[in-house]
Amino acid sequence: MDIQTRIKELRKQINEANYLYHTKDQPIISDFVYDGLMRELIELETKYPEYDDETSPTKKIGGIVLDAFKKHTHTVPMMSLSNIFNKEELKVFYDRIQKVIPNTSFTTELKIDGLAVTLIYEKGIFKKAATRGNGVVGEDITENVKTIKTLPLQLSKPLDIEVRGEIYMSHKTFKEVNLERANSNLDLFVNPRNAAAGTVRQLDSKVVAKRRLDLFTYTVVGASNFNNTQKETLEFLSELGFPVNPHYKLVDNLDALSDAIDNYDILRKTLPYDTDGVVIKVNQFEHYETIGYTAKYPKYAGAYKFEAEKQITQVEDIIFQVGRTGVITPVAVLTPVFISGSLVSRATLHNEDYILNKDIRIHDQVLVHKAGEIIPEVIEVVMDSRNNQAPFEMIKHCPACESSLERKQGEADYYCTNNNCPGKNVFGLIHFASRVAMDIDTLGEKVVELLHDQTYLQTIPDIYKLHTFKDQLEELPGFGKKKVEKLLNAIEASKMQTLDRLIFGLGIKNVGAKVAKTLLNHYPSIALLADAKYEDLIQIPDVGPEIADSVTTYFSNESNQHMLEELKNLGLQMTYKIDVVTTHPFNGKTFVVTGTLDDFSRTEASDIIEKLGGKVSGSVSKKTDYVLAGKEAGSKLTKALELGIEVMDEATFKVKINE
């Protein structure tokens, strides 16, 4: 391939990856591969300036800004750092600086793998936060950042100051968030950085608060106005109340720099969050201007990138799993290999596009690592080992039921179109019987799989018909009289489980345990919920368009209706006891909540009113009994006063709710 074609190809690949990573939060290639492509492009562009192009991805720093958040123009652009990939390059970096400023000292800091944020304070009070965006214009994420526990809302000094840092998600939180998502039938986040980026982009800051994001700060805009060195800046940030990663160091020669990097590479494996390198900065600010900048990067700092532990192994097969929502997930079956402390034999391939982009084929040798040190992922194919493997082709029919698959518009995933697909049901059945849903403890994963294979269990109602096969069940491997009796008793007992567990157990997309309760508190029976209209559902606090859509789609499906009818006839609980107190003075009263309350969000106050038997309406009318008014209440308060409706302040509300 000639140089110009290669340059064009690299630019196209990087542009695509940039868009998916920065704008869509959907990385298709790993950082390692991305950095490699970028490095090759930078090298070629430097060597062949005749192919220079002002639209090359090397000219810009980031991605495109979405419209959903307000834009924020950075006071000083948020640059990124040039990468240092090995010890030779470290020496080049060091020597280059040493030549300009002899006997320089450097700080080394862990490079936290999250997303960059800028934090603006006025007179020591937190005012605004923004993402990097394209480096010049970012997104205003103030409300979301405010929810970060470690962010100081007030500094120890009343300074006007802009601070930069990295938002990240800890391994523990990442696991918890993914567990919750699995329980709510939602797609999992690929790695902690992806989870943090997805969270920061949430429009509802309440969701963000629950995700427990974290923060480390590492620099101040115009740092030399406050301090003389980077080390002092880090100490200064700590003094002001900012979280600063404690593992920074001051070193003053190349050997010490190299040793520090080796030590960080050991240390990072023990840390509860992801790091992807070491940031090296000249310590004395007075040298910054002398050392200078390239078009994109400061020359007085660099990012030494760690190599993620990776291994080569073979793709023995590509198999397909059917999820509970019918989503088809391709999975690579690998020759088992040890990576970052555990044996890896499977890696998710996410979807068709992912496989085609990387051109992964059965029998290929592939490079595998653990994304975020957790999830096995195929990084790339070792092309040198490619023989005549056939290109990957996505299956056209469901691996479980042979029905045709459908790729929805705008989605990368294929779905099985058969509502009664047995493939969906194994997972559906396991979920239905699980501890978090109907809690049939003797009907675990292995038992469900066995009964499913033996065709006793295909649908949820089949669970409640198992008793008719009592004799046959006793003959199954590992079963027997006692075990079958225990199983059938547990199934019988589960008929009395509350309806919220049943609804959750059905595996309706976006309907987790909590949402099931919320829905039933408004529509306390299957019949009522099945009749609920989309327009009514979205009125419920915490129920958005996605949930309302899944619920109405689910109940309008004939085979689901039939199944629920069967469950009713089999004797399951079909009504719900609302968690409402009916003896409270709020019972039967209609409230309008307006203005800003100190101790509750409006949704929280509404929930309390409803729990106590009251109703909450959006507008004031003669039918309104009380207007609960917080600070800066506007037209609703005026109207209440006009109509002579009783206005309740927050203090009175708090007293009343305890009556």
Distance CA 210, CA 201 (A): 14
Secondary structure (3-state) at 115 = strand
State in angstroms the smallest separation of the CB of 117 from ligand IVH: 8
State in angstroms the smallest separation of the CB of 109 from ligand IVH: 4
State in angstroms the smallest separation of the CB of 116 from ligand IVH: 3
State in angstroms the smallest separation of the CB of 77 from ligand IVH: 9
Distance CA 10, CA 1 (A): 12
Piece of 73-81, 91-99, 196-204, 309-317 that binds ligand IVH (CB under 6 A): 73-81
- The stretches of 241-327 forming alpha helices (DSSP H) are 254-267, 288-291
Distance CA 500, CA 423 (A): 25
Contact code string over 189-218 relative to ligand IVH, x by CB under 6 A: -----------------------------x
Both tokens of residue 353?
């596009």
Nearer to ligand IVH, 84 or 429 (CB): 84
Count the residues of the shown chain that bind ligand IVH, applying the rule CB under 6 A.
13
Q: How many CA atoms lie within 13 A of 176 on its CB side?
A: 9
Nearer to ligand IVH, 80 or 521 (CB): 80
Q: Is 111 in the site for ligand IVH (CB under 6 A)?
A: yes
Distance CA 128, CA 71 (A): 12
Secondary structure (3-state) at 346 = strand
Both tokens of residue 573?
């609980």
Piece of 106-114, 407-415, 503-511, 605-613 that binds ligand IVH (CB under 6 A): 106-114
In angstroms, the Cα distances linking 503 to 348, 526, 539, 571, 611 are: 29, 9, 20, 15, 20
Piece of 77-85, 502-510, 583-591, 621-629 that binds ligand IVH (CB under 6 A): 77-85
Going along 558-645, which residue ranges are E strands?
Answer: 590-594, 615-617, 626-629
Q: Specify whether 568 is catalytic.
A: no
Q: Is 274 in the site for ligand IVH (CB under 6 A)?
A: no
Distance CA 536, CA 557 (A): 19
Binding residue for ligand IVH (CB under 6 A) from 17, 38, 79, 447?
Answer: 79
Both tokens of residue 76?
């000083």
Reported as type and span, the H/E element at residue 177 is: helix 171-183
Instruction: Report residue 132: phi and psi, to 5°.
Output: -70, -35
Secondary structure (3-state) at 230 = helix
Nearer to ligand IVH, 243 or 595 (CB): 243
State in angstroms the smallest separation of the CB of 17 from ligand IVH: 16
Nearer to ligand IVH, 279 or 447 (CB): 279
Binding residue for ligand IVH (CB under 6 A) from 116, 200, 260, 537?
Answer: 116
CB atoms under 10 Å from CB of 415, counted, come to 19
Site for ligand IVH in 402-461 (CB under 6 A): none
Distance CA 60, CA 50 (A): 19
Piece of 95-103, 109-117, 249-257, 548-556 that binds ligand IVH (CB under 6 A): 109-117
State in angstroms the smallest separation of the CB of 278 from ligand IVH: 8
Minimal CB distance residue for ligand IVH: 116
Binding residue for ligand IVH (CB under 6 A) from 31, 109, 610, 650?
Answer: 109
Both tokens of residue 247?
């593992």
Query: Are the beta carbons of 140 and 184 closer than 8 angstroms?
Result: no
State in angstroms the smallest separation of the CB of 221 from ligand IVH: 11
Nearer to ligand IVH, 290 or 553 (CB): 290
Catalytic residue (one of 8, 24, 111, 486): 111
Nearer to ligand IVH, 36 or 298 (CB): 298
Nearer to ligand IVH, 124 or 135 (CB): 135
Q: Is 608 in the site for ligand IVH (CB under 6 A)?
A: no
Binding residue for ligand IVH (CB under 6 A) from 25, 139, 162, 166?
Answer: 166
Distance CA 353, CA 239 (A): 48
Site for ligand IVH in 299-358 (CB under 6 A): 303
- The dihedral through the CA atoms of 347, 352, 357, 362 has a sign that is positive
Binding residue for ligand IVH (CB under 6 A) from 7, 10, 112, 447?
Answer: 112
Nearer to ligand IVH, 166 or 377 (CB): 166
Q: Is 219 in the site for ligand IVH (CB under 6 A)?
A: yes
Q: Name the DSSP class of 271.
A: S
Across-strand partners of 282? 106
Q: Is 364 in the site for ligand IVH (CB under 6 A)?
A: no
Query: Are the beta carbons of 584 and 612 closer than 8 angstroms?
Result: yes
State in angstroms the smallest separation of the CB of 376 from ligand IVH: 25
Nearer to ligand IVH, 219 or 348 (CB): 219
Binding residue for ligand IVH (CB under 6 A) from 80, 238, 314, 403?
Answer: 80
Nearer to ligand IVH, 61 or 429 (CB): 61
Query: Are the beta carbons of 552 and 537 closer than 8 angstroms?
Result: yes
Piece of 74-82, 138-146, 315-323, 609-617 that binds ligand IVH (CB under 6 A): 74-82
Distance CA 424, CA 324 (A): 5
Query: Are the beta carbons of 572 and 464 closer than 8 angstroms?
Result: yes
Instruction: Report residue 15: phi and psi, to 5°.
Output: -60, -45
What residues act catalytically?
Answer: 111
Binding site for ligand IVH (CB under 6 A): 79-81, 109, 111-112, 116, 166, 218-219, 279, 298, 303
